[in-house]
Amino acid sequence: MISTVIWCLFAGMTVMAALAVATSKNVVHCGFGLLFSLLGVCAMYVFLGADFLAATQVIVYVGGILVLILFGVMMTHRITATDLKSELVQPVAALIAAVAILVLSVGMILEQVWPAKEHLDPITPTTHAFGVSFLTDYLFPFEFASVLLLVALIGAAMFTRDSAGEDSDHV
């Protein structure tokens, strides 16, 4: 009863915030819309009993990616002076793409057998299962992702350097 009401509140928040991201003309407002949308998704994970995933969602998407996006926006000169265009361009193609994505995702949702439990009253710890599967079944994707991130890190450090061999002190 109570959890249904709370679930509806969070679901509404997720959808409304996502709408705000799509329609807002101010890019900073889009960023903050994304914040509430991501938090709503995090709440959905909590309702599904995926505690670790929920916290990771907040740490990675809110604490990392969203902050970086807003950083980029704020570093850009006179960013609010330019209005975001939200008019219709090529409505037919957009409609086809949107419907195709909708059909695909709904089809997948219906086809997939979800390993859901009937009753999720005490949230069972998921960290142990995560750790085991990362280091056994999914070791290759895990390592691959970490190497990819390392490459991105080194690349970013290379690009921001003034010139090779010279330590810059502009901070």
Partner 1 sequence: MEAFQQMLSQAGWAQGMQPWALSGLAMLFAGGTILGGVAVGAMFFIWTERKVAGYIQSRYGPMYVGHFHGVLQSIADGVKLLLKEDIWPTDADKFLFRIAPLLVFTGAFLSFVVLPFGPDFVGASLDIGLFYAFATSSLVVMGVIAAGWGSNNKWSLYGAMRGAAQVISYEIPLGLAVLPVVMSVGSLNLGTLAEAQRGWLWSWHLFNPIFFVSFVIYLISSLAEVNRVPFDLPETESELVSGYHTEYTGMKFAFFFLGEYADMFVVSAIAVSVFLGGWYTGIPAVDAFVPAPLVFILKSVFLVFVQIWLRWTLPRLRVDQLMYVCWKVFIPLSLANLFIYGLIRSMVG
Site residues (vs partner 1, CB under 8 A): 1-2, 26, 28-29, 32, 35, 51-52, 55-56, 58-59, 62-64, 66-67, 70-71, 74, 123, 125-127, 169, 171
55 burial via Cβ count (<10 Å: 0-12, 13-18, 19+) = middle
* Nearest-approach distance from CB 10 to partner 1, in angstroms: 15
- Closer residue to partner 1 (CB): 130 or 138: 130
- CA distance linking residue 18 with residue 26, whole number of Å: 14
Kindly tell me which of 72 and 141 has the beta carbon lying closer to partner 1. Answer: 72
In the complex, least distance from residue 31 CB atom to partner 1, rounded to whole angstroms: 8
Distance in angstroms (rounded) separating the CA atoms of residues 74 and 120: 42
Cα 28 to Cα 154: distance, rounded to the nearest angstrom: 29
- Residue closer to partner 1 by CB (options 11, 58) is 58
Altogether, the residues listed in the chain come to a count of 171
Cβ atoms of residues 33 and 6 within 8 Å: no
Closer residue to partner 1, CB minimum distance, 129 or 148: 129
